[in-house]
Amino acid sequence: MTDRPLTPLLDTVDVPADLRKLRPDQLRQLADELRAEMISAVGTTGGHLGSGLGVVELTVALHYVFDTPDDKLIWDVGHQCYPHKIITGRRDRIRTLRQGGGLSGFTKRAESEYDPFGAAHSSTSISAALGFAVANRLKDQPGRAIAVIGDGAMSAGMAYEAMNNARAAGNRLVVILNDNDMSIAPPVGGLSAYLAKLVSSRPFLELREIARRFARKLPEPLHKAARRTDEYARGLAMGGTLFEELGFYYVGPIDGHNLDHLIPVLENVRDSDHGPVLIHAVTQKGKGYAPAEAADDKYHGVQKFDVITGKQAKAPPGPPAYQNVFGETLAKLAESDPRIVAITAAMPSGTGVDKFARAHPDRSFDVGIAEQHAVTFAAGLAAQGMRPFAAIYSTFLQRAYDQVVHDVAIQNLPVRFAIDRAGLVGADGSTHAGSFDITYLATLPNMVVMAAADEAELVHMTYTAAEYDLGPIAFRYPRGGGTGVPLPEVPEKLEIGKGRIVRQGKAVAILSLGTRLAEALKAADTLEARGLSTSVIDLRFAKPLDEELIRQTLAAHEVCVTIEEGSIGGLGAHVLTLASDAGLIDAGLKLRTMRLPDVFQDQDKPEAQYDAAGLNAPQIVDTVLKALRHNSAGVEEAGARA
């Protein structure tokens, strides 16, 4: 949205090998130019801004010191990887970020040898880096693995599981704790930088090893005491005792924006025989861009924006976002029901729970990046008579499937799952798509699974879930704005397992689940224009199915098509099973299922993604006509009837 910045030094760097030719005193200029280029690029495309700005110096320092791509650099989550992409051969495509056919907004193995591990879900980096490091050790080949993980991602148990096993990697594993919330770190400055450089230096480590050897000759009680003295002396000076207990040699905290501090410490760690090592770097989200520094939450993920003013391009006014409809509805219901509580896993605004939290702060719980805990916490609340709503993105709920099965479904506890980002999600691509929840939930005994066709239906389903105490219940809804239908003043309690007839016809029936209903109605208009009387059913429930309505529909129509925003194994599979078990397809009924293709779809605009998936109105029409054996001109062949 503005002219590109002048970047004479960055223009000489295409890959990290070029970066390593620079003098240390040139790195500050390079980092400044890299930051300016990233701001300009994200201003053009939108995307994650604050997190990437916070790791510019870390990115430069890591690629300068370590021999990437032979040394494996793994970014946890990956949304902070834009500076990394710019200096690893992808600058010419950086303004295609998150666009159809463009660069992914996360690291991606298929995109570059400098992305050794694809990431987009949090807290996986240490486990993956440990795998790379141990593999190199077992194969007796050089190469370190460096994991960069944020303090938020450290709230997930998986990070500690990996650290607890990290001794197996020895000095081949380096973890950078990117602490951008000051939630762990004491103040940093010259003294802490000096201490970090000192304790990571070869003389100190050699002296420490001599002391260790001497201590081993002491009686066991004195040996243990000497070891504790070393650990806690550094712990008192620098923090990090927890990491020492997990087997890491802790260095820090250091200023993650000061290259004069970062480079010597990283070089010491690179050249050391000791490890694994954890370097604690304190950074600032949005560093170097005033609007992002002032409001790092607002600039975590952004639309296109004006680089000079920081003003983000606003979407045209339209219907409310689904997550806001959910959050506001739940907050209103909780006014008269003190048993309602809301749980989110580090996504309060993304799920709408922030609106509930403002109205009922004592009944709102953000448990951090800990979906497994969120689900079992909700199960405990339900077992004690509360009405918990676990509001979790579909893609993140996958991480807690064992808890959904064992802690909720088997015990038949009435946990309410508000499943956001159902279906395809646009720019975030395959890693964040809600493709599988219908399949993985509707297969479970005791589970009720609903899908809202529009925002009014979401209001009804939120209320229905609140009032349902017989077992677990889930309702799914997509990312983005609704359809514009009026929101009901008084929510309706839906009958469990009952759909609704939206349009009555005679020849063709479209059985829709979720927000493909609008496309189903468009398809019905086209089919009616061709003389094919078409029914449209909003099934509402993937489980339990409305068996009576489905039986009647299949018996009364020549062609029936199911459509859903989910993978194979969902609604269509359940309807086919019902039809097969009941013999409803024995007499020649033409039954077709439409669902997401069996691929991981890359990022694009949602409407383009659904077109590629074959789930828009023209493809529904085509499916019906092929079932009736109409030719491409729309002329009926013998045997087909309207």
Q: Which residues are catalytic?
A: 285, 371, 399
Contacts of 35 (CB under 8 A, 6+ apart): 53, 56, 83, 287, 288, 289
Please give the C-alpha separations between residue 276 and each of 253, 267, 273, in angstroms, as whole numbers: 17, 15, 9
Which residues are part of a known binding site for Mg(2+)? 151, 180
Tell me the one-letter amino acid at 594: M
Annotated binding site for thiamine diphosphate: 79, 120-122, 152-153, 180, 289, 371
Instruction: Classify 330 as helix, strand or coil.
Output: helix
Binding residues: 79, 120-122, 151-153, 180, 289, 371
Tokens representing residue 375 in the block: 């689900």
Q: Where are the beta strands (DSSP E) in 347-456?
A: 364-366, 387-393, 416-420, 448-451
Q: What is the DSSP string of 107-142?
A: --TTT-TT--S---STT-HHHHHHHHHHHHHHTT--
Q: Which residue in 144, 140, 138, 173 sits closest to 275, CA to CA?
A: 173
Give the distance, in angstroms, between the CA of residue 290 and the centroid of all CA atoms in the same chain: 27
Alpha helices by DSSP H, listed for 429-588, are: 437-442, 455-467, 517-529, 547-556, 571-581
Residues 180, 140 contacting (CB under 8 angstroms): no
Q: What is the DSSP string of 134-196?
A: HHHHHTT----EEEEEETTGGGSHHHHHHHHTGGGGGGGEEEEEEE-S-SSPPP-SHHHHHHH
Contacts with 474 (C-beta within 8 Å, 6 or more apart), sequence order: 416, 417, 418, 419, 437, 441, 447, 448, 449, 450, 465
| Pairing outcome for strands 145-150 and 173-179 | parallel
Phi-psi region of 390 (alpha: psi -120 to 50; beta: other; left: phi over 0): beta
Please answer whether residues 500 and 538 qualify as being in contact, where contact means their C-beta atoms are separated by less than 8 angstroms: yes
